[in-house]
Amino acid sequence: MKRYIIFSLTALLSFGMLYSCSENEEKEVKEEELETERKEFTGELSELSVYNLPSDWTNQNGEEIKLEDLKGDIVVAVMIYTTCKAACPRLVADVRRIYDKVSDKANKQVKYVFVSIDPETDTPERMKEFAKENEMDNDQWVFLRGDIEDTREFAAVLAVSYKRISPIDFSHSNIISVFDQEGVLVHQKEGLGVDDSSTIEAIEKLAM
Amino acid sequence: MFSKFVTIVVIMFFSFISFGQKEGMALIKGGTYIPLYGTDSMPVKVDNFQIDKYPVTNAEFIQFLKENPKWKKSNVIALYADGNYMRHFKDDFTLNEGENPNAPMTNVSWFAAKKYCECEGKRLPTLDEWEYVGMADEKRIDARSKDDYNKFILSWYEKPNTYSQEIGSTFKNYWGVYDMHGLVWEWTQDFNSVLISGESRKDVDGSSNLFCGGAALGSSDLMNYAAFMRYAFRGSVKANYSIRTLGFRCATSIK
């Protein structure tokens, strides 16, 4: 019972936070870059960095993360939903192909991030399963789900369009995006199975 | 004692979300409608909700900026707003000569519009909500098949500078909502849900591509044409774009 009260209070408080619009101005906590593999960053986040988005996400291991936690890595991002039967498997295959072609040296600095456009269905468990099915169950592959609004916002930055067209299906644009270590969008590729050499080039260049 | 406190807080919380017809908003009774998504024509259900009777004005936006300086022209980050943001302002809080404080706020990005609504305890309307309200004329919930309704919209498309007119200067529709057509286009929460041409949208030279091709696609009559223009426009913008003819208004859900 007590636990329930605490829970509802937490829910209440977090709801209240949604309404206070002056949120996130205070979150000045500076992330420390610990891993030596990552490029170092000092100073302010670029204005164009996607890490300016103050959103909370859950990964396939059920861990709460901020987009900013990806700072320092090169990020290759796509938006999918795991129950998708048509385009997503091909999109996932395209991403895997990019991974295979990128040099080992560069890959050490890359995170491949799949953001769900169907956060209601794509629970951490479901994403984990999907990761396993696709042999992407390690640190290099990140599956994220956020709330509906944050997802919409993330898509807005990526210029990805999507719409639920039936209870189980979405139509969506197939775009693979590459972000630099600071979270600035540097490259996009649209379409399925199209030539990915420029994408690989973009990644390799960032990893140099 | 503690639990009493919790009860009170919880009650306050629920009354906060469930009551209160917000001032300046019209109550929209939900229903189903058949939208125009390219070739898709399934009926879509819209729940009851409230929407601002008028688009947000320049003056109202200035007020918001005073309370949220992060969104001032001089402070806003490029991720959230392109170089045209608040272009009709001399400085952070002053409109250019000749601009009307009671005209709809335009040159405003999706991020800024979204933030404005959040600060009001509201949100942007969904595309379906907007279209649902937008299909009404003075007397009917759905006037889309009426010639005069479509002609009004199309004649507006041809009229220059309607963004500088005062809010409320077009007709009041069935729901008591003004200016859905006739002054400015408006942002919707999920403006980026438009896939008129399937998967073929190209982000490189997208706008011209979509705007012409998309708009012409299947527009067999006036009604489709008027709506296609809106959908094509939405499909051609990005969230940090600030455009002279694009404003917004807010909505809230009803629990």
- The span from the CA of B35 to the CA of B134, in Å, is 11
What residues pair up with A144 in beta bridges, in sequence order? A59, A115
pLDDT of the residue at A166: 75
Return the ∠ at Cα B83 (arms to B81 and B89), rounded to 5°. 95
Of A9, A171, A190, the CB nearest to B195: A171
Q: Do A162 and B192 touch (CB under 8 A)?
A: yes
Q: Domain-by-domain residue ranges, chain A?
A: 2-207
Per DSSP, the three-state class of B13 is: helix
Q: Do B78 and A48 touch (CB under 8 A)?
A: yes
What are the chain A neighbours of B45 within 8 Å (beta carbons)?
Answer: none
Least confident among A58-62, B6-10, B73-77, B251-255: B6-10
ipTM here: 0.74
Q: Do B199 and A192 touch (CB under 8 A)?
A: yes
Average pLDDT, chain A: 82
Nearest CA in chain A to B110: A156
pLDDT band for position B38 (50/70/90)?
very low
User: pLDDT (tens digit, 9 = 90+) per residue, B73-110?
Assistant: 999 999 999 999 999 999 999 999 999 999 999 999 99
Four-residue CA torsion sign, A36, A124, B124, A24: negative
pLDDT of the residue at A159: 84
User: Do you know the residue count of chain A?
Assistant: 208
Calculate mean pLDDT across residues B12-34. Answer: 72
pTM beyond 0.90: the answer is no
Shortest distance, CA B162 to any CA of chain A (angstroms):
27
Answer yes or no: is pLDDT of B181 > 90.
Answer: yes
Give me the tens of pLDDT residue by residue for chain A, a chain 208 residues long: 445 544 454 444 444 444 446 544 433 333 333 333 445 555 678 899 999 998 899 999 999 999 999 999 999 999 999 888 777 788 899 999 999 999 999 999 999 999 999 999 999 999 999 999 999 988 999 999 999 889 999 999 888 888 887 777 787 888 999 999 999 999 998 888 788 999 999 999 999 9
Of the two residues B44 and B209, the one the predictor is more confident about is: B44
Per DSSP, the three-state class of A183 is: coil
Calculate mean pLDDT across residues B53-69. Answer: 97
Is any Cβ of chain B less than 8 angstroms from the Cβ of A8? yes
- In total, the C-beta contacts within 8 angstroms joining chain A to chain B are 86
pLDDT of the residue at B193: 83
Cβ–Cβ < 8 Å for A131, A141:
yes
Number of H helices, E strands in chain B: 7, 7
Of B6, B80, B190, the CB nearest to A5: B6
- The span from the CA of A185 to the CA of B164, in Å, is 35
- The span from the CA of B103 to the CA of B168, in Å, is 9
The 3-state secondary structure of B197-244, one letter per residue: CCCCCCCCCHHHHHHHHHHHCCCCCHHHHHHHHHHHHHHHCCCCCCCC
pLDDT of the residue at B40: 52
Nearest CA in chain B to A177: B203
Of B40, B80, B121, the CB nearest to A165: B40
Look up tokens 């309370």; give the residue: B67
pLDDT of the residue at A125: 95
Q: How many beta carbons lie within 10 A of that of residue B216, not counting itself?
A: 11
Q: Do B203 and A188 touch (CB under 8 A)?
A: yes
B13-41 b/e with 16+ CB inside 10 Å = b? eeeeeeeeebeebbebeeeebebbbbeee
Give the E-state strand segments of chain A in sequence order.
56-59, 64-66, 74-80, 110-116, 141-145, 162-166, 169-172, 175-179, 185-190
- Please name the amino acid found at residue B135: M
Q: Which CATH superfamily is domain A2-207 in?
A: Glutaredoxin (3.40.30.10)
Of the two residues B158 and A144, the one the predictor is more confident about is: A144
pLDDT band for position B222 (50/70/90)?
low
What are the chain A neighbours of B10 within 8 Å (beta carbons)?
Answer: 8, 12
User: pLDDT (tens digit, 9 = 90+) per residue, B186-212?
Assistant: 999 998 887 654 433 333 333 333 333
What residues pair up with A142 in beta bridges, in sequence order? A113
pLDDT of the residue at A197: 93
Is any Cβ of chain B less than 8 angstroms from the Cβ of A5? yes
Q: Specify whether the backbone of A180 is left (phi greater than 0), alpha (psi in -120 to 50) or beta.
A: beta
Architecture of domain B24-253: Alpha-Beta Complex (3.90)
